[in-house]
Amino acid sequence: MGSIKSAEVSREVFPYLRVYEDGTVERLAGTEVAAAGLDPATNVLSKDVLIIPETGVSARVYRPSNITNKVPLVVYFHGGAFVIASSADPKYHTSLNNLVAEADIIVVSVNYRLAPEHPLPAAFEDSLGALKWVASHAKGEGDGNRPLPVLNQEAWLREFVDFDKVFLAGDSAGSSIAHYLGLRIKDEVRDLKILGIVMIMPYFWGKKPIGVEVTDQFRKQMVDNWWLFVCPSDKGCDDPLINPL
């Protein structure tokens, strides 16, 4: 940490992170981690699973400890403006433990790669790959392009998920990912029946200010800068990834 603080700051993306001239990224929030395992308050089990070895993309999988039959599945994508947080973040871990206990479901919480180390569309591509991995369990096969190694399959999904009852969910940046995947499912993800998409405070934006953005120019400029930082492209804030209209 001492060497980080002695370096010159190249860019600060308030309130999330700093980037130093040597390329080091210092995250100012979203770095806390909760361990997977049995949650005594809810009697829910969780574990971390490596799902895409080539990129290191993983997921935290949750299930009721006393499950005996097949139940619906929620695939969850965490928020954090695409630059902070993870599937092990304590607030997501607590919330998903509670959700699993109350709804009697399985949850796969995707841990996609973050910007700026991995600029967008990496998070969207990682999440699509994770959804394909989930779908491969419906028939115990690969994604259609290559066989899925036995070691890369998750027994909790094979044994306890009803693949005709699947929901996509996320908050903030995760909502944008869930929406994006909802548009790609028909063409690229098979063997799953998506019954609904839950979007909590979706991270949608655009060049033209609307609503409170017209008067709150400070926030408009701040969010504009966030997006251009995580997704540098000539499309800017009208990129379809963030502006579905």
Q: What would the pLDDT profile of 53-93 be if each residue is shown by its tens digit?
A: 999 999 999 999 999 999 999 999 999 999 999 999 999 99
pLDDT for residue 140: 59
Q: What angle do CA 124, 127, 128 make, to 5 degrees?
A: 85
Dihedral sign computed on CA atoms, order 210, 215, 217, 222: negative
Q: Considering only 35-39, 116-120, 174-178, 241-245, which range has the smallest mean pLDDT?
A: 241-245
Beta strands in 65-193 (DSSP E): 71-77, 106-111, 161-171
pLDDT at 150: 44
Kindly report, as residue ranges, where domains of CATH 3.40.50.1820 are found in the chain. Answer: 32-203
Contact 166, 194 (CB under 8 A): yes
What pLDDT score does 190 carry? 79
Q: Which amino acid, residue 205?
A: W
How many Å apart are CA 177 and CA 180, to the nearest integer?
A: 5
Instruction: For domain 32-203, say whether CATH 3.30.70.270 is its number.
Output: no
Dihedral of the alpha carbons of 7, 222, 93, 184, in degrees to the nearest 10: -110
The residue-averaged pLDDT of 206-219 equals 92
Pair 77, 83: CB distance under 8 Å: no
pLDDT of residue 143: 45
**What pLDDT was estimated at residue 96?**
99
| pTM of full prediction above 0.75 | yes
